[in-house]
């Protein structure tokens, strides 16, 4: 019997890759969704005796996201050997397009960001809620948000908007499902040394006026490592008070 069944998106690099490795613990059944599978992760899972399912999917493709969500949760281990905990971590996301609001004229780019950062989260969460309904188990959702959803940043009109939407969506899920045992948290991870930060630092100062500050964070060694942030996120999900603060920041925890 699996103690934890975990579903993780954006698992192929950065914070997602670190979370995937942190979830490779005995008694965990891990399902990852990413643009590509990870041979190293598969080898680690095999060595540790962890059940791992890797699904290659572009979650910015809403049809693919919907189909994948339906397939995953239709086959979720349930009746015969229910787990003690079901954990969904919606980590996949993009900071693009980075541009002044007056330059946001490409509907495809805007739509792709909302599809990945918001729509895919809603699709996966809906299936998760239905599949785990009525189970005598912990039902936890972690939506990886950002301080950008709580504070405006010039050049990030789309990113800030998607993360603000994610925060509010998390609050609605709690309003609807908390009484049924669901614990949902929209969690800002802080400034993490990932590919997203590389994208930010490669922006132009015209499109992103705070460029120098983010370049300085890297050069001065102030970026948190994905491994440390992943460790703290997973530790938070194990705390008795997980879910009490629905809009949270991992920097509030040691």
Active site positions, annotated? 159
Closest CA to 226 of 1, 15, 13, 8: 15
First vs last C-alpha separation in the chain: 32
Q: Is residue 45 a contact partner of residue 51, using CB atoms and an 8 Å limit?
A: yes
Sequence length of the chain is 254
Cα-based distances in Å from 118 to 17, 81, 106, 112, 215: 20, 32, 18, 10, 28
What DSSP character marks residue 242? Answer: T
Cα-based distances in Å from 9 to 33, 88, 94, 222: 5, 8, 12, 26
What CA–CA distance (Å, rounded) separates 85 from 4? 5
């Amino acid at each position: 019997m699996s103690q934890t069944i975990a579903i993780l998106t954006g698992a192929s690099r950065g914070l997602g890759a670190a979370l995937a490795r942190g979830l490779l613990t005995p008694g965990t059944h891990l399902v990852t969704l990413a643009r590509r599978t990870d041979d190293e992760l598969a080898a680690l899972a095999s060595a540790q005796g962890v059940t791992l399912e890797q699904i290659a999917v572009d979650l910015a493709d809403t049809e693919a996201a919907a189909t994948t969500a339906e397939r995953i949760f239709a086959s979720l281990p349930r009746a015969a050997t229910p787990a003690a905990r079901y954990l969904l971590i919606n980590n996949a996301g993009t900071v693009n397009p980075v541009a002044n609001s007056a330059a946001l004229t490409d509907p495809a780019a805007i739509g792709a960001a909302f599809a990945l950062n918001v729509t895919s989260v809603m699709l996966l969460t809906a299936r998760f809620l239905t599949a785990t309904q009525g189970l005598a188990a912990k039902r936890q959702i972690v939506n990886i948000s950002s301080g950008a959803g709580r504070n405006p940043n010039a050049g990030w009109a789309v990113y800030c908007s998607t993360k603000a939407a994610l925060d509010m969506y998390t609050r609605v899920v709690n309003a609807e499902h908390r009484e049924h045992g669901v614990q949902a948290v929209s969690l800002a991870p802080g400034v993490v040394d990932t590919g997203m930060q590389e994208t930010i630092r490669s922006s132009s100062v015209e499109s992103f006026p705070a460029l120098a500050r983010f370049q300085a964070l890297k050069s001065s060694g102030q970026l948190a490592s994905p491994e440390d942030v992943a460790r703290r996120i997973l530790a938070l999900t194990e705390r008795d008070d997980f879910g009490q603060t629905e809009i949270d920041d991992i920097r509030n925890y040691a």
